[in-house]
Amino acid sequence: MKSWPSPSLPAPLSGTVTPVAAHDTATGGVVPVGPSQGTARLYVCGITPYDATHMGHAFTYVTFDLLNRAWRDAGIDVSYTQNITDVDDPLLERATATGVNWVELAENQTDLFREDMTALRVIPPKEYVGAVEAIPEVVALIERLAEAGYVYQVDDEYPDWYFTTNQAREFGDVSSYDRTKMLEVFAERGGDPDRTGKRDALDCLVWRMEREGEPAWDSPLGRGRPGWHIECTAIALDTLGETFDVQGGGSDLIFPHHEMCAAEGIAATGESFARAYVHVAMVGLDGEKMSKSKGNLVLVSRLREQGVDPMAIRLVLLSHHHLTEWSWTAADLDANIGRLAAWRKAVSGETSVDAAETVRAVREAVADDLHADRALEAIDAWALASAEADADADGARDTIRTLVDGLLGVAL
């Protein structure tokens, strides 16, 4: 599927760049991510296209945009893949409930998402792949798992295909959940622990046989459609190869989604799946997780319609560290509208202070587990000192403009 246009990117500034490290859910620590040279490979779980793009989604994609930009700043190429879950139960349920065609719903919402990402200056993924277009890869992966004895069909009216989690190596290593917790979370997040005919309650669906009124595609597995986890496993293996650097998404994907993706990937290839799993904390509104099912959404597109500068939205997102839960507030937006104005004034003003120390501090903050919050404070300090300076430091304003544009993605 086509992704969105890239923002124009300035050439990275010269100077030393700290290698990038990020918090890895599997090991529980901050670890180096990506190679020291060459190409970093990143997979970020994309939207299920209905009710796009709320601030939780935006926080996730801006966080991984920062990782992408940090690697580029360090002179590393990035091979970035994102999926679109353009056929799955929640999307089909919403289409039925609102009386619209599911294909149109997915297309319209994906268009809206692309517009929002463009407005937020998120660098597009190199590969932007829909579940529907990946069906051949999904089917091939299930056949590969079948040959190795990792999948089976349940014996009932709908002989759906399941992946045997209890045969999988390293199952549990992503989330570190025990079985009780796994069962609880599995039931909450799209799993079907009580499905009759499964060998184990935690086995996950990989191919759902056709039901009346549901979309389905012919395949050697029977007419049906892909399960959720296998979609991301297949797209990641196909576009990034066996082992890649980071799988990312919101913390709601730790279990079962990323646990299952890893288990399926390892079972198919015998190699590890992602080297690190990076998860973004949930964004809320009035103390509750912002989610489509709760309907408590602040949409990027609605704020844009109201005339809010997308760069101010981006600053709100960057002002929160990705491991800390937070709630969207109007006061936060106002503060960052003010911050944007102060920065713009400083880079187009007549006085400034030297930028070298600020550049170093911003690069170090971003490379240290994507601490954009600290990076913003360093720019605030430069802008304040520049407003009070009585001379104009040579090239400082251009340097800051380039740094803020290239590394933080904020056009001044």
Contact footprint for ligand 5CA (CB under 6 A): 45-48, 56-57, 59-60, 83, 85, 232, 249-250, 252-253, 280, 282-283, 289-291
Whether 238 and 269 have beta carbons less than 8 Å apart is answered as no
Residue span binding Zn ion (CB under 5 A) among the ranges 16-24, 52-60, 228-236, 305-313:
228-236
Per CB under 5 A, 131 contacts Zn ion: no
Whether 121 and 314 have beta carbons less than 8 Å apart is answered as yes
The single-letter DSSP state of residue 216 is -
Q: How far is the CB of 372 from ligand 5CA (least distance, A)?
A: 15
Buried b / exposed e over 240-254, threshold 16 CB at 10 Å, is beeebbbbbbbbbbb
Q: How far is the CB of 234 from Zn ion (least distance, A)?
A: 11
Among 205, 232, 237, 263, binds Zn ion (CB under 5 A): 232
Which of 78/290 has CB closer to ligand 5CA?
A: 290
Q: In one letter, which amino acid is 270?
A: G
**Which among ligand 5CA, Zn ion, none contacts residue 282 (Cβ within 5 to 8 A by kind)?**
ligand 5CA
Residue 272: burial class (beta carbons within 10 Å; 0-12, 13-18, 19+): middle
Provide the 3-class DSSP secondary structure of residue 157: coil
Whether 276 and 28 have beta carbons less than 8 Å apart is answered as no
**Which among Zn ion, ligand 5CA, none contacts residue 124 (Cβ within 5 to 8 A by kind)?**
none
Whether 341 and 381 have beta carbons less than 8 Å apart is answered as no
Q: What end-to-end distance do the CA atoms of the chain give, in Å?
A: 31
- For residue 195 the two structure tokens come to 């499905």
Which of 21/285 has CB closer to ligand 5CA?
A: 285
Per CB under 5 A, 129 contacts Zn ion: no
Per CB under 5 A, 45 contacts Zn ion: yes
Q: How far is the CB of 236 from Zn ion (least distance, A)?
A: 9
Residue span binding Zn ion (CB under 5 A) among the ranges 37-45, 117-125, 130-138, 365-373:
37-45
Strand partners, 402: none
Residue number of the CB closest to Zn ion reads 45
Provide the 3-class DSSP secondary structure of residue 43: strand
Site residues for Zn ion per CB under 5 A: 45, 232
